[in-house]
Amino acid sequence: MDDTITERKEDWLQLDRQLCFALYSTSLAMTKVYKPMLDELGLTYPQYLVMLVLWEHEGLTVSELGSRLALDSGTLTPLLKRLEGAGLVSRRRDAADERRVLVALTDAGRKLRQAAVSIPERLLCATQCPIEEIQALTQRLHALRSTLEQARTISEQPSEHDAVAHMP
């Protein structure tokens, strides 16, 4: 019986059984489908994500944008510089708090939204899935992300064992 249990555990080490690989490879495939659509707009996928957030909530700080996109400032700042260079966003220091940088859409950035309006529908067509399935999958993935973020937070907290091990 131990051999059967061991075999089952070892079967879980197969690449195609890994949730992380299914998510990763699907993300790559999705980005490839997005690429020609975003090329029409002159955007990369990460830049598109920034624009989506700004089209939804204009006038955010860099840290608010980073939080919404799960990006650190080291990744987000170069994206914003390129979008600013393309004339789609502007950045300025917050007059109330010089440490904060506010990001706003320019007129060109607002106009780009109209050109992007067809992208979600085009992507939906590419998936060949009913919208209800896509909506359910999206909700499930959001729930999974939330669960994993909570698990990460819990795993980063010192355990009782750690506290005992470090006692003098």
| 68, amino acid identity | R
**pLDDT surpassing 60 at residue 168:** no
With contact defined as beta carbons under 8 Å apart, do 93 and 100 qualify?
yes
- pLDDT value, residue 19: 95
Backbone angles phi, psi at 101, to 5 degrees: -110, 125
What percent of the chain is helix, strand and coil (3-state, nearest 5)?
A: 70, 10, 20
* pTM across the whole model: 0.82
The mean pLDDT of 93-114, rounded to a whole number, is 92
CA distance 87 to 143: 36
Which structural domains are found in the chain, ordered by start?
A: 41-116 (1.10.10.10)
The three state secondary structure string of 3-23 is HHHHHHHHHCCCHHHCHHHHH
With contact defined as beta carbons under 8 Å apart, do 105 and 86 qualify?
no
- pLDDT 10s digits, 20-66: 999 999 999 999 999 999 999 999 999 999 999 999 998 899 999 99
CA distances (Å), origin 167, targets 128, 141, 154, 156, 164: 58, 41, 21, 19, 5
Is residue 42 left, alpha or beta, with left meaning phi > 0 and alpha meaning psi from -120 to 50?
left
Could you tell me the pLDDT band of residue 2, with boundaries at 50, 70 and 90? low
Could you tell me the pLDDT band of residue 161, with boundaries at 50, 70 and 90? low
